[in-house]
Structure 1
């Protein structure tokens, strides 16, 4: 199993990324779903926001209009509430975010395992190595390009190992996969939530309608509404990334798995075939 990140970028910015210049966009720029220029409608209008929801059956919360309690006249929707109030912390909206998509070779919707697998005998180590080629489906890559790419951007593969460079620099941040929820009553305002809990809910949760993005986010915990705060340097990362010239290239991974020969012989059903392979190897 291999996990990588992929990000579609304008090719002119790739050399800067290779030099370790990480650009973070403020979260408040991510909620432009209703912007007339957002033709793909991929941005979440609820980025960085929490909710107080009122149910007509909840006697602890009431909705007033012109001094009159109108809660009893309202009807709950299918999600169990009749009104909602959006809340957000301006400091959270200023947090910088770097986004990419998670690739996991275990996901058969995204990858296909090419067969036959390549088996390599290593008698000196008493091991068998099995190489499996996992090819990223172009149908998935094309779909991903349509929702988070576009504008002739090209894909860049990024190894998760590059995250350790942030720790070396002691940069204040949080990172992780975005959690997608189906329940429309999620992201409720919690008055006793810690600062970290509030950030996780605001930055790392999105409605399931955006789940195709399979986002991994790095949140830079400083005021990125200021342009000078949006870029940080983590050192050269050319060893951690691979860029492509084409929008929809062929992308594949070779995974190596090692097995002890004696253990295989104990459990394999075709012992004679394994013995034959070993004999042929010894004779060559």
Structure 2
């Protein structure tokens, strides 16, 4: 009897219209996925930095006019800047700096020593900041991690109180999956722990639009915690509830020299006063 051998598999052939329909269906499915599920859009843990979400959410506007003697120029840096030429910054008029120390309870800036000590050695008043991830561990745990890894304070006239960077989540949902009251509780937990460890009230870095969205525009921290407002425009604009004025203003992420640029709301003696507590 003849042996029947299987022939080559037939390829499914779609009409051009069918191909287009399949592609559109796949695209529609992708767009329904949450941001955190799109791997290409999520940066590597530890890479977050001050103001990462400001341009995306608030935009980039004009810069303030220079030459105002009542404001003092500063920068903030992270591992993105690597080893910083601090003498160049100092000669350009930068007199204070904040350096990223930690993120969550899982990341330490590998350039922290060069950046933190280098700024101090050229004469700058400097401090450290912590990028908060309220969805990973408690506020107390992150405050302790921060203090233990560079975020401490000493009354030497050259060390600013630590700063809590609380803003849009680059790794997922903007408010880290927390309710507004839950976010306020997390922030309070961090601030209370930081003060218990260092004796200082931490600076709060945030943007007004995020603060409104994720804390319900909570007003309870303005009396004790200095405000570092992020707004890339010609003025600081509206402040979060509870603060009648800002202490620092991050006005651009693309300054004339390395790092994000900021203005302290006062002359250099006021920067010294904040350092001394």
Q: More strand per residue: 1 or 2? A: 1
The structure with higher relative contact order (CA 8 Å, sep 6+) is: 1
Q: Is TM > 0.5 for Structure 1 vs Structure 2? A: no
Q: Which has the larger radius of gyration?
A: 1
- TM-score normalised by the shorter chain: which range applies? under 0.3
The TM-score with structure 1 as length reference comes to 0.24
